[in-house]
Amino acid sequence: MAFFGLFSTDIAIDLGTANTLIYVKNKGVILNEPSVVAYHVKDGKKQVLAVGEDAKLMLGRTPGSIEAIRPMREGVIADFDSAEEMIKHFMKKAFRRSSITKPKVIVCVPHGATPVEKRAIRQSVLSAGARKCGLIAEPIAAAIGAGMPITEPTGSMVVDIGGGTTEVAVLSLGDIVYARSVRVGGDRMDDAIINYLRRHHNLLIGESTAEKVKTTIGTARMPDDGRGATMMVRGRDLLNGVPKEVELTQAMVAEALAEPIQQICEAVMIALEATPPDLAADIVDRGVMLSGGGAMLGEMDLALREQTGLMVSLADQPMNCVAMGTGRALEYEKQLRHVVDFES
């Protein structure tokens, strides 16, 4: 058996709204690309033009003959065909040199995914060439990836802020005691920046520009000096239609992001209220672990600490955390068998 294990092509996939990561057993994360597919459309027929990084560059910049699609929305498949195309492409890319055996795949799914949404993910992965597909709940994967002691009889809280959703979960003895998935994440933050500039400056910007603002000067708290760092943002003037530039301060971005940040903090407060008292006491002792790309927003940990009064730490590699946890479920299959569902 060990002999075959050496040639094992088993993989873990973090099929995210914003990014897809592939973890190969015994190798770690070997692929991390945006979840985007671009098609060339001619006479009603679609042909894949680019997937991942190259396709993301086309988002919002396509002529009529090209369509760039994000197959995942809010953590689940929104466009079945392009999701399958994307998974197939990434799996092929990950196995450039060793495509002999069909891989066994473990994929993470949001805790709130419905049975229909789970089935869609499983079917896409199987159609893309997997021999077997197991599902793991995203909060469990995030907690394992962040190195939390999830199998111990003690309460751990993980908050995973992704592109489409934020998953808040309390775990103990290897399972979820309480979980809540809110459809607020990095995408909502981008929308909030777009809406702010439209309302306050009559400036229309695209999603890529909004994401750039968020990752460059984005912050979850008002800067101490009431202004903070600045950034020039270009877009189209809604009044006269010509290109225009506006200077954005961190204070403006904090104001724009106030609502999604508040919704994330509220989800954590609700989870704390619903947590059994002994586990709540453990969380007071150990604090809350933040993971996911959205957790990298400036001062997100501090904002959550101020709201909850709890210690908040940021996982080592927030964006890789879920993929690493899913991968660990693959590596330690025997010990972590109960967290992966190969059946439903």
Q: Which is nearer to ligand ATP, 62 or 215 (CB)?
A: 215
Q: Which is nearer to ligand ATP, 14 or 282 (CB)?
A: 14
Q: Does 18 participate in binding ligand ATP (rule CB under 6 A)? A: yes
**Minimum gap (Å) between residue 216 Cβ and ligand ATP:** 8
DSSP structure string for 246-305? EEEEHHHHHHHHHHHHHHHHHHHHHHHHHS-HHHHHHHHHH-EEEESGGGGSBTHHHHHH
Q: Which is nearer to ligand ATP, 71 or 235 (CB)?
A: 71
Distances in Å between the Cα of 185 and the Cα atoms of 83, 162, 246, 280, 321 are: 20, 5, 25, 25, 16
Q: Does 228 participate in binding ligand ATP (rule CB under 6 A)? A: no
Q: Is 50 helix (H, G, I), strand (E, B) or coil?
A: strand
When CB distances to ligand ATP are compared, the closest residue is 186
Long-range contacts of 33-37, Cβ-Cβ distance < 8 Å, separation of 24 or more: 33/90, 35/70, 35/71, 35/72, 35/86, 36/68, 36/69, 36/70, 36/86, 37/68, 37/69, 37/71, 37/82, 37/85, 37/86, 37/89
Q: Does 211 participate in binding ligand ATP (rule CB under 6 A)? A: yes
Q: Is 92 helix (H, G, I), strand (E, B) or coil?
A: helix
Q: Contact with ligand ATP (CB under 6 A): which of 214, 257, 289, 308?
A: 214
Q: Does 185 participate in binding ligand ATP (rule CB under 6 A)? A: yes
Q: Is 102 annotated as a binding residue?
A: no
Q: Is 315 annotated as a binding residue?
A: no
**Minimum gap (Å) between residue 260 Cβ and ligand ATP:** 11
Q: Which is nearer to ligand ATP, 154 or 165 (CB)?
A: 165
Q: Is 212 annotated as a binding residue?
A: yes
Give the whole-angstrom CA distance, residue 33 versus residue 36: 8
Name, in order, each residue with C-beta under 8 angstroms of 208's C-beta and a sequence gap of 6 or more.
59, 60
Q: Which is nearer to ligand ATP, 75 or 235 (CB)?
A: 75
Q: Does 260 participate in binding ligand ATP (rule CB under 6 A)? A: no
Q: Does 174 participate in binding ligand ATP (rule CB under 6 A)? A: no
Q: Which stretch binds ligand ATP (CB under 6 A): 10-18, 88-96, 120-128, 306-314?
A: 10-18
- For ligand ATP (CB under 6 A), the number of binding residues is 23
Q: Does 292 participate in binding ligand ATP (rule CB under 6 A)? A: yes
Rounded to 10°, the helix 186-201/207-217 angle is 100
Give the whole-angstrom CA distance, residue 247 versus residue 24: 44
**Minimum gap (Å) between residue 5 Cβ and ligand ATP:** 29
Q: Does 218 participate in binding ligand ATP (rule CB under 6 A)? A: yes
Q: Which is nearer to ligand ATP, 279 or 300 (CB)?
A: 300
Q: Which stretch binds ligand ATP (CB under 6 A): 160-168, 221-229, 232-240, 268-276?
A: 160-168
Total residue length of the chain: 344
Closest to 12 measured CA to CA, from 106, 133, 135, 137: 106
Residues flagged as binding site for ATP: 17-19, 163-165, 211-214
Catalog residues that contact ligand ATP under the rule CB under 6 A: 14, 16-19, 75, 162-165, 185-187, 211, 214-215, 218, 292-294, 296-297, 319
